[in-house]
Every structure is written in C-alpha cells, then in structure tokens.
Amino acid sequence: MTKFRGLCGTLALLALLFAPTQVPAADSTTELRTAIASQRALPRAPQLPRAAFLENRGLAAVQLSPGGDYVAYLREQGESRSLFLLPTAGGRPRVLIARTQADQVYWSRDGRWLFLRAPKWLVSVSVTGRAGVRVPMGGVERRGTMKIDPSQPAAVLLRERVGMGKGERWRIVRMDVQGKRSVLREDPRWVHDVALDAHGRIVALARFEGADNALFRVGAKGALREVLHLTPKEKLDLLAAMPDGSLLMSGNPGSAAVGGNFNRVLRLAPDNTLQTLHEDPRHEADLDEVVLDPRTSMPLIASYRSTVAATYGIDGAQALVAGIARRFPGRDIGVQAGSGPRAQWLVSERAPTLRDPRWYLFDPRSGQTRPILNRKGLDEAATTAHAPQESQLARKLAVSYLASDGLRVHGFLLLPPGVDPARAPLVAQVHGGPNNHFRTGYDGVAQFLANRGYVVFQTNFRGSTGHGRAYTFAPNGDYGNGRVQRDIVEGVRWLLAQGIGDKERVGIVGHSFGGYSTLLGLTFQPELFKVGVAGAPPADLGWGMRWLIEAGDQGDLPDRSLKHTLAALSLDATDPATYARLHAQSPQANASKMRRPLLIMAGGADRTVAIREVAAYTATLKTLRRPVTLLVEPNGGHSPVAPIPREAYLFAMETMLQKHLGGPAPEPPGQRLRAYLRENLRLAGPEFRAFANDATAD
C-alpha cells in the first residue's frame, strides 16, 4: 500500500509476543477427521530449542520500488538492522545503511529515495546512498508520518500538533527528502487521513468530529463539506483521489444493504455515491490489504486473511494474480506491483509453517517467477538462521463452529505432526484486544506449544475483528463471564466432542485480553480448564478500561475516540452501570472461586494494563492461599521485547503447562535465564521454587 500504517485501534492491546500450510475451513466432521488422520500419520517432530521460536525474522520491510527496478529491505544485524538494495534486473544486493534502528521502509513516488521510519525519527536516503534529512518523531509536537505524498516526486506527509495555550491544533505538513517543509493545512481537529490531487492540494480529509469520524471534501479555499459521517463502528482509509473527482478508499462505511458489514475496497463517486469495487467473495473476511497501481493509483490486488488466506486481482489484474496463486497452491501470497515497461512484481509466499516469508520476482509479461531473498536466492543467511523446517511445524486449519445461540464462530487449530490429538493435551490460546484476531500466518507461541505436543486452539470469538462489523460488535458488552467467554468454552467443548484433546488435560493461555479470559476460565470454568497462563491480564475489566482512559497511554490519544468506541462496544467503564456490571463479573471480584494453578507474567512499566491491578489481584489470591505464580519484568512494557524476558515468557509457560498437563520436560534454562527468574519471580508457586529466592516462595 502507499499509506503508512500507524498503531491504532480500539484498545491497542497487543495480542502475544510474536508475530499457517493453508487448508480449507474445517467446519465439517469429515474434513476435520481427514486432517487429523493426515497429521497423525506423519513422523513425530523433534523437540526444538526455545531459540528456534524466539529468533527475529531475518528480513523486515521488504519493499518493491514503484518502477519495479529495486527491492529494498532491512536485514537483522544483532541489535540493529542494515538497509539493503537489490536490483531486480540482476546482481547482488548492496548496503545503503550499515546500521539503523528503523523498522519500516517506504519508497518515494519517483523511486529514487527511501524513507526509513524508526520509533523516534524519520530519515531519507537516496538509492545512491546519499543522505537526506533526519527529523525527530513524537515529542511535544506528536509528529508522526501519515503517508508518502503521491503528488510529489519525493516527499512525505507529516502530522504535527501545534500548542495553542490550553488548546491545540493539527498541521498537515509536506516534507521533501532535504527537509523543505510546506504547511498544507492547519485544523482544530485531529485529522486522521487526507487525499491529494495531482497538484498536491488536499481535496479530502477524514477527521474526528466530537464523538465520531467524518469524511469531508475540501474546497479550493479550504472549506469543508461533509460527505460521510462514520459511527465508532465504521472506519475508512483514503487510498487516492482520482482525476474525475472520485475517491478510492478501504473501509466498512454504509448499511448492511450496501455491503457495509465487511471491510472492502470502495469508490466514492463525484456525486458521493458509495460503490464497492472489491470484497471477499466468500463473505466471511474483512479486507486485509489492498495494492494500488503505482502509476494510476487504481486498486490492483486485494487480500483477505481472516480464515483461509486468499488474494485476488481486480479488473485487469485478475488473470495475472490468479496465475501467481496457482504457482503457490495452499499458500498465502502477497503481491507488490511495479509499473513500467519492464517492471517486475514482488511476490511473497507465506504459511503457518514458514517463520520467514519466501520472496520471488514475477515478470507480468512472461508470467515467470524467480526466487530472491530466500533459501534459493541471494540472502540465505538472513532468512534461514535457526528457522525450523516446515516438516517440524504444526499444520494450521481454519475451523468454524456453531455457538449455542446459532452464531458461527471462527478460529484456527494447530495439530502437531505425529501426535494422536485424542490423547494430546489441548490448550486454548486467546488473543488480545479484544478487537483483534488470529491470522493465517506463522505464530511463534502457538508453534512452540505444538512442538511440545499440545493441540492449540485459537478462537476468533465474537468481538474479534476480521469477520465484519456485525461480528465485532456482536457481544453487546458481554465480555465478563458471558457470551464472549462462552464462545471460547463452547469451542473447546466442540473440539473435545470431535475427539480432539484429552478432556482431563485442557489449559488456557493468553495475553492482555487473552490473559483476562484466562482468569475468567480458571474462575468460572474450573471443571474444564486445569491450568492457566496469563500475560499482562486485567483482573477487573471495568477498572482496567477506566484506567486506560484516565491514566494509561490510550487515554491520551489525540483523536479522543477511545471513549466513544468503548461506548459503542458497551465497554465504557466511565459509565457507572457499565463499570458495576464488568466489576461484578470480574476475576478480581470472584477471586475466592479461583482454585486452579495460575501463572501471571507482567511488565512493571506497562501503560496498557496497570501493574498495580495485576499486583492487587495476585495479592488477593495469595491471601486466599490460591496456587499462583507472578513473574514481573521490572521495567517491561505490555509485552517483553528483550531476548531474556522473551525467553523467560516461553520457559515459564512451558514449565507451567508441563507440570499440570504433561508433555516433555522443558529445556533447562541457561545461566542468564536462571538469574532472571531468580531476580524477577515476585511470587513462586511450587512449579518455580527451584528458581526462586526463599523470600518469594509461596
């Protein structure tokens, strides 16, 4: 895409630490049993070291230039990265920047410059290696990148805060590669997105309007005319402004009668009629990615990845993309298109059994592909270091089941090779959010558990994203021991009824909202879940949501939309009745019912889930003499990032599950990991006494 994708969303609660071969959705007993039989017949995979699931992917931000003549990518180099440039016509890649902290790369429209984004700065560099400008991001100005300027050869659009006494305004600024700045607009409201015409003028913008977002057309003198008003349930991103005055967008605005349920590719005609250009033909998944023609800005390719990954060409690109898909059957493919008489396209091949994508160049004239940046190409060391072999990883099936109220619920199932799932322990893995979802790709935590012999069930319960607006808002606020939790429980019971999992060895794990669900499961369904592992769990969702708005990072979002989105989800804990309802159903208020062994892991500097909430719940359990262990990374955030805390997360999870569900003994911890556990176990249950100081032992 031509847009920068910032971290946004309803709650921005992270799912798990680490960023599936594809098969059809297994919603029938026959399909499921066939998959079970094929996996059981395979050789048992060897127990791989934890490091195999902790390694960062070797390549990041692999991007094709607009003309299709270069591929730029970041390669992991220890604690930093290097920027490489590979000519698509042939030859070896060369280093443009030897050391950088950048995590994303964007091409200028003319393909002669690159913008590198890091958490605290943005820098430009030419394809010849000549340095451009370096500007700080964040700060009191809250400067952030919006998108590449599509109207200029080499410029980027920035958003900046302007302090006005106790108030504030927001500027949209064009900055070229040498740092020359032009203010395009100053607005009293938070501007979410803009579209520019060929002359570089803002012709449309989306901004926050008190309680909702709205889309405006912008007149020649800057006057605004509202053309779409969006509720907190609706969203859109502006893709391009066309010469005829129409706007290309992605999003889900509109009523169900005009296809407003699913995120899709849209055109807003000059008369403001909304038209759907592409949506999931299966009517089950939201748009995940749309690719534009670099020359015309017309949509070329659309991908959907919430169930079985599928990528389609749009209009004239249909045959080309279908041909690519046939070359990679059962895989998740991504395509970046170049534009020009000799332009190459860049194709990525992904699967749940591939830690690192494989990359290919595709010639749209001959239809031929050739591998690059993978085990057959030019950067083998970056993509294969310590990566598990595909045969050693678990197959991942898209599954669906009917909830007790008749709603079809989606999810994924990982079956370890060579294991009889009827006799294997079953682990329910719950994602964070709750407005998030498990996707089709590689998942390090799930594959780690499957490698230890656990069947892993990833449920995209109602309230998850990826399956349409109605699905996301279906819980109607019932996030306690209610409808959402029943979706998870009923999914586990459905699997057990299909002969998947040993009913006496069922566990539940999750991070953030997934951790909250873990606490709920142990509290209210102890006959089903025998053990739980909760990362950064809010023990009282009402208190946690109120804290998030009033004191946490989310409460300080410039668009001020979080409170209104939570209200639309019936999760606005500043409302006394909502707070009381969530509190009454919370694990904190029902701690006396919690008797199953529990491991909690948290960050001492978490700005999403307050450490004092986690500590208070743990203290309550300790007072009640419940079996609980607490591991705290002292200065850690919402999820561990550094290598040792990440390894500790996996080791502690594995230790807890092995003690209560069986499975192979964990790989012994090294000296650094043992020291970390000894220093940071705040409360050690019997599973961890060997690693705890005497003062922390329960």
Q: Return the HEC string of 100-112.
A: ECCCEEEECCCCC
Instruction: With a cut of 80, say whether residue 415 has pLDDT above it.
Output: yes
Q: Say how many Å lie between the first and final Cα of the chain, rounded.
A: 52
Report the C-alpha gap between 402 and 201 in whole angstroms. Answer: 50
Count CB neighbours of 551 within 10 A: 12
DSSP characters over 549-562:
HHTSGGGG-TT--H
DSSP assignment, residue 669? P
* Burial of residue 277, with CB atoms counted within 10 A of its CB: 0-12 exposed, 13-18 middle, 19 or more buried: middle
Instruction: With a cut of 60, say whether residue 42 has pLDDT above it.
Output: yes
Instruction: With a cut of 50, say whether residue 319 has pLDDT above it.
Output: yes
DSSP characters over 109-147:
TTSSEEEEEETTEEEEEETT--EEEEEE-BTTTTBEEEE
**Residue pLDDT, tens place only, 109-123:** 999 999 999 989 999
Radius of gyration for the alpha carbons in the chain, expressed in angstroms and rounded: 25
Q: Are the C-beta atoms of residues 121 and 110 closer than 8 Å to each other?
A: no
Query: Which residues are registered as beta bridge partners of 126?
Result: 113
Write down the pLDDT at residue 374.
Answer: 55
Looking up tokens 């279908």, which residue turns up?
Answer: 322
Calculate mean pLDDT across residues 435-448: 94
Backbone angles phi, psi at 237, to 5 degrees: -125, 135
CATH architecture assigned to 41-52+388-540+586-696: 3-Layer(aba) Sandwich (3.40)
Tokens matching residue 7 = 């971290």
Query: Which residues are registered as beta bridge partners of 173?
Result: 158, 183
Nearest C-alpha neighbor of 360 from the set 319, 325, 386: 325
> How far is the CA of 337 from the CAs of 81, 232, 290, 368, 573, in angstroms?
25, 33, 11, 14, 45
Count CB neighbours of 421 within 10 A: 23
Per-residue confidence band for 33, with pLDDT thresholds at 50, 70 and 90:
confident
**Residue pLDDT, tens place only, 587-646:** 999 999 999 999 999 999 999 999 999 999 999 999 999 999 999 999 999 999 899 999
Helix (H) / strand (E) element for 648: namely helix 643-661
Three-class secondary structure of residue 530 per DSSP: coil
Report the C-alpha gap between 329 and 333 in whole angstroms. Answer: 9
- Pairing mode, strands 369-372 and 395-402: unpaired
Percentage of the chain lying above the pLDDT 70 cut: 91
Instruction: With a cut of 60, say whether residue 459 has pLDDT above it.
Output: yes
Three-class secondary structure of residue 544 per DSSP: helix
Calculate mean pLDDT across residues 309-333: 96
Nearest C-alpha neighbor of 658 from the set 507, 521, 534, 526: 507
Q: Are the C-beta atoms of residues 155 and 174 closer than 8 Å to each other?
A: yes
Q: Residues 6 or more apart from 90 whose CB is under 8 A from it? A: none
Report the C-alpha gap between 245 and 269 in whole angstroms. Answer: 7
Where would I find the beta strands (DSSP E) of 262-394? 264-268, 274-278, 289-292, 299-304, 310-313, 332-336, 345-350, 358-362, 369-372
Region of residue 251 (phi > 0: left; psi between -120 and 50: alpha; otherwise: beta): left
Instruction: With a cut of 50, say whether residue 11 has pLDDT above it.
Output: no
Per-residue confidence band for 266, with pLDDT thresholds at 50, 70 and 90:
very high
Q: Are the C-beta atoms of residues 308 and 25 closer than 8 Å to each other?
A: yes
Which stretch of 35-44, 246-255, 462-471, 475-484 has the lowest confidence by average pLDDT? 35-44
Instruction: With a cut of 60, say whether residue 323 has pLDDT above it.
Output: yes
Write down the pLDDT at residue 247.
Answer: 98
Calculate mean pLDDT across residues 147-175: 92
Residue type present at position 394: A
> How far is the CA of 381 from the CAs of 353, 442, 478, in angstroms?
19, 20, 48
> How far is the CA of 673 from the CAs of 47, 79, 207, 646, in angstroms?
19, 19, 47, 10
Mean pLDDT of the chain: 90
Count CB neighbours of 330 within 10 A: 12
Report the C-alpha gap between 447 and 443 in whole angstroms. Answer: 6
Instruction: With a cut of 70, say whether residue 136 has pLDDT above it.
Output: yes
Helix ranges (H only) for 357-482 are 380-384, 444-451, 469-472
Instruction: With a cut of 70, say whether residue 283 has pLDDT above it.
Output: yes
Write down the pLDDT at residue 376.
Answer: 42
Q: Are the C-beta atoms of residues 597 and 656 closer than 8 Å to each other?
A: yes
